[in-house]
Each structure stands twice: as structure tokens, then as C-alpha cells.
């Protein structure tokens, strides 16, 4: 096994003021551990507010973790010198291609920002060539280098964002909902491109999305999160075909199948109620308030991740 | 007579840059008690169609020509005053984002009562009772307490339930749902779709479901319209559209969706090119610049809608070339 990234007991709490001189800790990510192998895509799914984006951002130290360790390529990430090197090798693609590109910068400058920050090119000519190379790589017309972001469509903007992420020749990219804002036909273009780039540049992805069919398509393994906790982690086919955790089971059954006959046959498990507030996470298992199989044990202690089948991890008392 | 008949509808936005033809010659019928899906990408004119029916278009948009008949009654050309009796009463709408469509400065009870008192002769107290009844019907716990709350105190799913309660309070004949679940999580989406289907059976209304999600269409719709660049690509029963698509755009759309049952990770086949620029529409078929099977005629002349089955219409020159289309609606037996 060749692990590129190892996360151990990652916690990310945010202080929220809940009254006069009173703060409560919002546990966005609570004790999450996983690892990502070289060249692999790990998918991260969950509903809004479950902490999947926070995991991605904390991994890249955009937030300083409250607790836990992040190991990248055998080195622990944390101090300033390791961070600088790490940030060159790990990049991020953001969800919203409209707000993640500076409207006052030209495409060339946006794409070259990591190059300038890390001083990767010594001459102007070299920088220019690299920009051209990157734009071609993501299928953008190099003649458009002097244009501004607003002159492009959503799909093209996402390509600019990807070109920027690739500029420092990273090994690891956190893709935070990179296709959620795009139309289906454009979404497929970007997914195919991400897969091609992964092959060509031997990249490793953490792919965060809420669309399970997209995550299943692109990922080798999938992790499911709920209220800051990891509920299940397994190989993509295994997780979608034989989900074990009651939450994953209902999540899979809720996905509408784009096939009328199949969907008539589909048995839906409709969950009652809403996701509880992350400020008031239920005691024990966070899912127990909506779980049909909850017992008194679920109330008392939070289940730990156990390996139920080879490579299939579940955090549930009843599995 | 259909419940709603839209004929050759043209809606444009007159911007400084020129005329944007958002809806361009749209025709369709909505039958009593049916669920009609409208699917298409952003900018295909789905929402503008809905706004045209209710005439809630904002400046600089307006209906240029065409006819919209509700139970045989022409809606185009009606005054604002006349439309007010139709909106929320006979035809209701729920929007994508329930946060921005609810007024943050009034309680939800206040807004529900307003809708009820506007269209019925109930007094304040009766309207209040009706509002509580509606909230209970859409599955909101403790409606007596919730009715005094503001939109920000509710979750996304809950807000959409309030919107549905408001839309259905006057028992409309048509409910237009403009991307009702796009802003919601899948488990909440499943709840809302189930609720809408239950209420549709109880109230017997027709639903126009506007969405970009083929999964939602397959789940709830009887009939589907596939839109591109303000026009119809094809329309027919859900099974026909899904199993016998007769337009290159629909086929492309289906190929672009990842298949949950595919374990081999077969690469997706995307539709090439970028979405159409509505300011510069090609003279022929609007999809022709992105269509890999486009012929000479596709670039020159816009195809009209031909019948390709007794329950299926399509506007694509390929069908004419392949000789699989009819000018008039064929009977079921004729096609075997």
C-alpha cells in the first residue's frame, strides 16, 4: 500500500457566539480518520452541513485543525516550512466558478498565480509558455489568455479553476463540488477531463460532491459523512450496491434513478425530519434521531468505525 | 379541451444588447390531473415559460406573441387585475429557493393568511384555521406554533413545505413547480417529492414540474417536454422519451448522466460545445452547432414538430431523413 495522505482523528471546531459572552463549539468535523492512496480518487458524500467541505479545507490547512494529524507522503503537516512545500503539492478546485475567480484579473494571471507565489518560473517567457501549456491541457483556447473571467461560460470558468490548480504541478487535488454548478452536458465534459488529467499527470483526488451518481462514477472508494462524523467507507461499487449503514441505505434509496421503469420498482426509505443542528448534535450516534434501527446503545455511545468486510468500514452498533 | 394549451409562445427580453428570445415558438398541452415535466439546461427557457403562463415576467421581458389558454380562456392580453384572480387561485407556483420567495419580515402565518383571504371570502379567523390545516397537511409538526415563526427559523425542507401549503391553500387546478427540490438535499428531496405526489392525488390538480434532473422526471412525471434554446426538442410520455428518444439532444443528455449500475466506469459521452448564446441564434435547428449528426438542412432550416409515435412528437430533421415521422397524429395500431 502506498498511502499519499493519512488523516488521523481530525477535528475541526468553530466557536459560535450563541448569546452575550457565550460561545458554543460547532463541531463541523468530529474525529474523522481516513487515508488516500496514490493515484486514487476518494469520494466524499453527505448532505449540506455534514462537514465534507470543512474536511477538504482543513486537509489543506485553510483552517487550522482543532485536533488530529495530517500526514502527506510520510511527512506530518503542520509547521510553516512543511506547509509551504505541501501547498505546492496539494491544490483545490472550488465549487462556484463565479466567486472563485478574481473578476479583476485576466485568465493568464489567474492561472499563473500559483506559479508566481511559489516562484516556479524564472523568466517571463517560461511563465508565458507554462500558461499556454496549462490552458491547452484543460481545453481552453490560448488566445483567450488576456480575457477576464466574466467573458466565459460556467464550464469554461471551471476549466480555468482547474488550470490554476494544476499550475504548481500538484500530486493531490481537493475537488470541492467541482461540477455541481454546471449543466448535465457540461458536467460530463468536466468529469471526463478530470479523469483524463488524473491518468496523464498521475493525480490523487479527494472528490467532494452531494450527487452520488457522479461520485460513484469518478471514485475508487467513497466515504459517507453525517453531522461531522464518518459513517461508512467502502469501495465505490460495494458502497452503492450493498450499503450497510442505515443512513447510507436511505441515502442510496433517495437518489432518483433516471429510468422510469426502475424508479417505479424502487423502494424508497424516506427519512423523517431534518438533519439536527450541528450545534446540538445528538448524544451517542449522531444519526440515531432519524434512524429506524436505533436502540438504547446508540444513545449512550458513539459507534467507532469497524471493518465489517475487507475494506468496508461502518460506524454503527447494529451492523 | 386541455386544461392548459400553449400555442406558438414567444417570450423575449429586450436588452441593450438586443432581443433575447428566451421562449421561441413553444407549443404544449397540459391535461387535467397529469404531471408534466419540463427538462432542459439553464437558459433553455423552462422558467420563462412558467413566468409567461402566470405573466409574472419582469421588465424587459414580455410575451411577444402566441396564445396561452386555461380551460379555453385566453390568458395572453389579460389585465393585471384579471390575472390576479388566476394567480395563486387557479394556477399556483412554487419556486426553487424557498428562502427568497418567503418574506423575511412577516410570519409564515401572516403570508399564508394573505393568500387565503385574497382569493376566498374567509375572514381572518377562518383563514387562520385554514392556514393551520394546510400546514398540517404538508407535514409540519406543531402547526399552531410554527405559524407564528419567521422563514429564517425553518429549515430548507420546511420552508419548501410552507411554500407548497401556500400554493395549495386555494386548491388550484395547476401547480407549477419551478425546480422545487434543486436547493434541497436528496433525503429532503425525496420527502418533498413524496409529499407533492400525495397532494396531487388528494387535490387532483395538474403539476408542471420544471427541473434539470432526469431522475426527478423519471420518478414523478407522466409526460415530458425536453427544451433547448427556448423551443421544444421533443415531447411525449415519460417512457417514450426515456426509452425511445427521437432527438439528438435528448440522446446526448441521457449519455451524459453517470449510470449508477455501471461498475466498469465507462467514460461519459458529453455533448460537445457550449450552451447556445440566445442573442445569436443560428438560423436552423438551435442544437445544430453542437449536434454531431447535423446535416446541411439542420444548419439552414428550423425543423418543425413531427409525430414519431402516437404519443410522441419530435423536432429533428433526422426523423424526416430516416422516414420515421408523420404530419398528423398516427393511431396506436398504425405503428404496431
What are the per-10-residue average pLDDT scores of chain B (336 residues)?
A: 94 93 94 95 92 93 95 93 92 88 93 91 93 92 92 90 92 94 88 93 94 93 95 95 95 91 86 86 92 92 92 93 87 65
Indicate whether A286 belongs to any domain. yes
CA distance B157 to A22: 29
Indicate whether A297 belongs to any domain. yes
DSSP E strands: which ranges in B197-311? Answer: 206-211, 223-228, 231-237, 306-309
Q: Are B267 and B259 in contact (CB under 8 A)?
A: no
Instruction: Flag if B187 and A214 touch (Cβ within 8 Å).
Output: no
Indicate whether A315 belongs to any domain. yes
B239: nearest CB among A155, A189, A260: A260
CA distance A49 to A277: 9
Instruction: Flag if B270 and A192 touch (Cβ within 8 Å).
Output: yes
Indicate whether A140 belongs to any domain. no
Instruction: Flag if A191 and B41 touch (Cβ within 8 Å).
Output: no
* Nearest Cα residue to A97 out of A137, A42, A152, A44: A152
Across the beta sheet with A3-19, what order do the strands follow?
A: A22-37, A3-19, A67-72, A75-76
* Nearest Cα residue to B158 out of B138, B176, B177: B138
Instruction: Flag if B256 and A188 touch (Cβ within 8 Å).
Output: yes
| Best mutation target, B274, B276, B287, B312, to test chain A (most A CBs within 10 A) | B274
Q: How far out from the chain centre does Cα A317 lie?
A: 27
- Which grid coordinates are listed for B255? 449519455
Q: What is the distance in angstroms between the Cα of B218 and the nearest Cα belonging to chain A?
A: 4
Indicate whether A213 belongs to any domain. no
Number of domains into which chain A is organized: 1
**pLDDT at position B280, please?**
87
**pLDDT at position B333, please?**
65
Instruction: Flag if B219 and A257 touch (Cβ within 8 Å).
Output: yes
Instruction: State ipTM.
Output: 0.86
**pLDDT at position B334, please?**
64
Half-sphere exposure of A246 (CA within 13 A, CB side): 19
Instruction: Flag if B219 and A256 touch (Cβ within 8 Å).
Output: yes
Angle formed at CA B76 by CA B74 and CA B287, multiple of 5 degrees: 110
Residue in A with minimal Cα distance to B263: A237
Residue in A with minimal Cα distance to B268: A188
| Best mutation target, B96, B186, B242, B263, to test chain A (most A CBs within 10 A) | B186
Which domain covers residue A252, as residue numbers? Answer: 247-319
**pLDDT at position A92, please?**
95
**pLDDT at position A5, please?**
94
Indicate whether A305 belongs to any domain. yes
B218: nearest CB among A240, A254, A256: A256
Q: Are B164 and B176 in contact (CB under 8 A)?
A: no
Pairing verdict, β A3-19 and A67-72? antiparallel
Per CB-CB distance under 8 Å, the chain A contacts of B190 are: 253-254, 256, 268, 270-271
Q: What is the distance in angstroms between the Cα of A264 and the nearest Cα belonging to chain B?
A: 7
Instruction: Flag if A186 and B275 touch (Cβ within 8 Å).
Output: yes
Indicate whether A251 belongs to any domain. yes
Whole-prediction pTM: 0.89
Indicate whether A61 belongs to any domain. no
Write out chain A's pLDDT in tens, 319 residues.
689 999 999 999 999 888 888 888 899 999 999 999 999 999 999 988 899 999 999 999 999 999 999 999 989 988 888 888 999 999 999 988 888 999 999 999 999 999 999 999 999 999 999 999 999 999 999 999 999 999 998 889 999 999 999 999 999 999 999 998 888 888 999 999 999 999 999 999 999 998 899 999 999 999 999 999 999 999 999 999 999 999 999 999 999 989 999 888 888 888 887 888 888 889 999 999 999 889 999 999 999 999 999 999 999 998 8
**pLDDT at position B336, please?**
46
Which residues of A touch chain B, with CB atoms under 8 Å apart? 47-48, 153, 155-156, 183-189, 191-192, 195, 210, 212-214, 216-218, 237, 240, 250-251, 253-263, 268, 270-271, 274-275
Per CB-CB distance under 8 Å, the chain A contacts of B258 are: 191, 213-214, 216-217
| Best mutation target, B157, B187, B277, to test chain A (most A CBs within 10 A) | B187
Q: What is the distance in angstroms between the Cα of B84 and the nearest Cα belonging to chain A?
A: 34
Amino acid at each position: 500500500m502506498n498511502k499519499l495522505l493519512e488523516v488521523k482523528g481530525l477535528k475541526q471546531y468553530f466557536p459560535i457566539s450563541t448569546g452575550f459572552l457565550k460561545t458554543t463549539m460547532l463541531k463541523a468535523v468530529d474525529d474523522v480518520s481516513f487515508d488516500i492512496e496514490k493515484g486514487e480518487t476518494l469520494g466524499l458524500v453527505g448532505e449540506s452541513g455534514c462537514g465534507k467541505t470543512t474536511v477538504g479545507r482543513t486537509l489543506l490547512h485553510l483552517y487550522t485543525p482543532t485536533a488530529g494529524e495530517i500526514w502527506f507522503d510520510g511527512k506530518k503537516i503542520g509547521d510553516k516550512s512543511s506547509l509551504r512545500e505541501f501547498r505546492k503539492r496539494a491544490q483545490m478546485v472550488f465549487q462556484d466558478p463565479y466567486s472563485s475567480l478574481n473578476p479583476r484579473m485576466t485568465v493568464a494571471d489567474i492561472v499563473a498565480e500559483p506559479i508566481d507565489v511559489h516562484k516556479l518560473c524564472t523568466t517571463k517567457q517560461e511563465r508565458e509558455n507554462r500558461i499556454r501549456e496549462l490552458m491547452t491541457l484543460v481545453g481552453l483556447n490560448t488566445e483567450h489568455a488576456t480575457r477576464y473571467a466574466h467573458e466565459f461560460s460556467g464550464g469554461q470558468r471551471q476549466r480555468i479553476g482547474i488550470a490554476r490548480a494544476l499550475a504548481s504541478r500538484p500530486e493531490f487535488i481537493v475537488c470541492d463540488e467541482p461540477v455541481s454548478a454546471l449543466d448535465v452536458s457540461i458536467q460530463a465534459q468536466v468529469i471526463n477531463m478530470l479523469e483524463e488529467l488524473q491518468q496523464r499527470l498521475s493525480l490523487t483526488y479527494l472528490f467532494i460532491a452531494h450527487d452520488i451518481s457522479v461520485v460513484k462514477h469518478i471514485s475508487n472508494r467513497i466515504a459517507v459523512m453525517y453531522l461531522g462524523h464518518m459513517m461508512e467507507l467502502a469501495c465505490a461499487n460495494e458502497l452503492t450496491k450493498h450499503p450497510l449503514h442505515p443512513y447510507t441505505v436511505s441515502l442510496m434509496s433517495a437518489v432518483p434513478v433516471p429510468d422510469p421503469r426502475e424508479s417505479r420498482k424502487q423502494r424508497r426509505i424516506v427519512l423523517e425530519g431534518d438533519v439536527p443542528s450541528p450545534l446540538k448534535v445528538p448524544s451517542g450516534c449522531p444519526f440515531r434521531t432519524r434512524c429506524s434501527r436505533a436502540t438504547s446503545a446508540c444513545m449512550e455511545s458513539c459507534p467507532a468505525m469497524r471493518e465489517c468486510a475487507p475494506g468496508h468500514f461502518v460506524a454503527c452498533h447494529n451492523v | 379541451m386541455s386544461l392548459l394549451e400553449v400555442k406558438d409562445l414567444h417570450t423575449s427580453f429586450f436588452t441593450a444588447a438586443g432581443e433575447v428570445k428566451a421562449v421561441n415558438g413553444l407549443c404544449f398541452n397540459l391535461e387535467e390531473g397529469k404531471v408534466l415535466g419540463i427538462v432542459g439546461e439553464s437558459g433553455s427557457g423552462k422558467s420563462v415559460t412558467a413566468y409567461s403562463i402566470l405573466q409574472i415576467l419582469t421588465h424587459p421581458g414580455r410575451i411577444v406573441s402566441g396564445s396561452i389558454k386555461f380551460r379555453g380562456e385566453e390568458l395572453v392580453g389579460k389585465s393585471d387585475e384579471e390575472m390576479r384572480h388566476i394567480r395563486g387561485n387557479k394556477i399556483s407556483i412554487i419556486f426553487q429557493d424557498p428562502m427568497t420567495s418567503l418574506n423575511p419580515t412577516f410570519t409564515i402565518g401572516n403570508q399564508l393568511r394573505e393568500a387565503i383571504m385574497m382569493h376566498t371570502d374567509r375572514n381572518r379567523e377562518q383563514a387562520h384555521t385554514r392556514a393551520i390545516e394546510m400546514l398540517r397537511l404538508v407535514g409540519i409538526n406543531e402547526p399552531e406554533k410554527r405559524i407564528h415563526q419567521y422563514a429564517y427559523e425553518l429549515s430548507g425542507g420546511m420552508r419548501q413545505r410552507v411554500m407548497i401549503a401556500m400554493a395549495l391553500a386555494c386548491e388550484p387546478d395547476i401547480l407549477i413547480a419551478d425546480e422545487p427540490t434543486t436547493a434541497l438535499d436528496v433525503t429532503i428531496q425525496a420527502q418533498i417529492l413524496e409529499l407533492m405526489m400525495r397532494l396531487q392525488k388528494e387535490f387532483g390538480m395538474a403539476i408542471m414540474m420544471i427541473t434539470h434532473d432526469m431522475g426527478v422526471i423519471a420518478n414523478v412525471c407522466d409526460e415530458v417536454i425536453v427544451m433547448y434554446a427556448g423551443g421544444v426538442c421533443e415531447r411525449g410520455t415519460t417512457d417514450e422519451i426515456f426509452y425511445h428518444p427521437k432527438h439528438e439532444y435528448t440522446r446526448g443528455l441521457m449519455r451524459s448522466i453517470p449510470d449508477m449500475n455501471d461498475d466498469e466506469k465507462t467514460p461519459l459521452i458529453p455533448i460537445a460545445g457550449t450552451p447556445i448564446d440566445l442573442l445569436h441564434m443560428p438560423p436552423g435547428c438551435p442544437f445544430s452547432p453542437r449536434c454531431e449528426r447535423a446535416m446541411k438542412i439542420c444548419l439552414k432550416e428550423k425543423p418543425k414538430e413531427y409525430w414519431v409515435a402516437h404519443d410522441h412528437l419530435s423536432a429533428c430533421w433526422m426523423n424526416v431523413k430516416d422516414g420515421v415521422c408523420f404530419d398528423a397524429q398516427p393511431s396506436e395500431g398504425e405503428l404496431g
